[in-house]
Structure 1
Amino acid sequence: MQSPQSPPRHQARKRFGQNFLNDQGIIRSIVRAISPLEHQRVLEIGPGQGAITESILATGCQLDVIELDRDLIPILEHKFGAESNFRIHQGDALKFDFGALAAGEKLRVVGNLPYNISTPLIFHLLTAHDCIADMHFMLQKEVVDRLAAQPGSKTYGRLGIMAQYYCEVESLFDVPPEAFTPQPKVQSAIVRLTPYEKPPLPANNVETLQMVLRSAFNQRRKTLRNTLKGVIDNEAIESLGIDPGLRPEQLGLVEYVAIANAIDNNSQ
Structure 2
Amino acid sequence: MKPFNPNQHQAKKRFGQNFLTDQGIIDRIVKGIQPKQGDNLLEIGPGLGALTRHVLPSVGKMTVIELDHDVIPKLKFNCDGLGELDIVQQDALKADFSQFAQEKPLRVIGNLPYNISTPILFHLFKHLEVSDENQGIQDMHFMLQKEVIDRIVAQPGSKAFGRLTVMTRYYCDAQYLFTVPPSAFSPPPKVDSAIVRLTPKRERLPLEDYAVFSAMVSEAFNMRRKTVRNVWKKRLDDQAFESLGILPTLRPENLNLENFVDAANWVSRNSSR
TM-score bracket, shorter-length normalisation: over 0.9
Alpha-carbon spacing, 1:111–1:140, altered in 2? closer, same or farther (3 Å): same
Q: Which residue of 2 aligns with 1:159?
A: 164
Residue aligning to 1:96: 95
Listed one character per residue, the Cα deviations across residues 29-56 of structure 1 (whole Å, up to 9, x for unaligned) are 0001001110111000000110000000
Matched residue, 1:264: 268
Please name the residue that 1:230 is paired with: 234
8 Å CA contact 1:21–1:181 kept in 2: the answer is: yes
Identity %: 54
TM-score (norm 1): 0.93
Q: Provide the C-alpha distance between the structure 2 equivalents of 1:62 and 1:132, rounded to a whole number of angstroms.
A: 17
Aligned to 1:24: 23
**Given the alignment, which residue of 235, 252, 265 partners 2:256?**
252
* Whole-Å separation in 2 of the counterparts to 1:8 and 1:160: 36
What is aligned with 1:148? Answer: 153
The worse-fitting range, judged by mean Cα deviation, of 94-103 and 222-231 is: 222-231
Q: Which runs of 4+ in 1 moved over 4 A?
A: 81-84
Contact 1:167 1:195 in 2 (8 A): yes
Partner amino acid for 1:17?
G
Give the corresponding residue for 1:190: 195
Q: Cα 1:243–1:93, aligned 2, differ >3 Å: closer, same or farther?
A: same
Contact in 2 for aligned 1:62/1:86 (Cα 8 Å): yes
Partner of 1:3: none
Per the TM alignment, residue 203 of structure 1 is displaced from its structure 2 partner at its CA by 1.5
Q: Contact 1:36–1:61 at 8 Å: present in 2 too?
A: no
Deviations along 1:214-265, one digit per CA (max 9) or x if unpaired, are 1111110111111112232332122211111110000001111110110111
**What is residue 58 of structure 1 aligned with on the other side?**
57
* Partner SS for 1:173: strand
- RMSD, aligned CA: 1.7
Residue number in structure 1 paired with 2:247: 243
How far residue 202 of structure 1 moved from its aligned partner, in angstroms, is 2.3
CA contact (8 A) 2:60 2:83 kept: no
CA distance in 1, matches of 2:215, 2:70: 39
**Tell me, which stretches of 5 or more residues in structure 1 are unaligned?**
1-5
8 Å CA contact 1:8–1:74 kept in 2: the answer is no
The corresponding residue for 1:178 is 183
Distance 1:230 1:190 in 2: 40
Mapped contact 1:7–1:75 kept (Cα < 8 A) = no
2:53, 2:82 within 8 Å by CA — same for their partners in 1?
no
Amino acid in the other structure paired with 2:193 = S
Query: How many residues get paired?
Result: 262
How far apart, in 1, do the equivalents of 2:80 and 2:57 lie?
14
Q: Relative to structure 2, which stretch is displaced further, 237-246 or 163-172?
A: 237-246
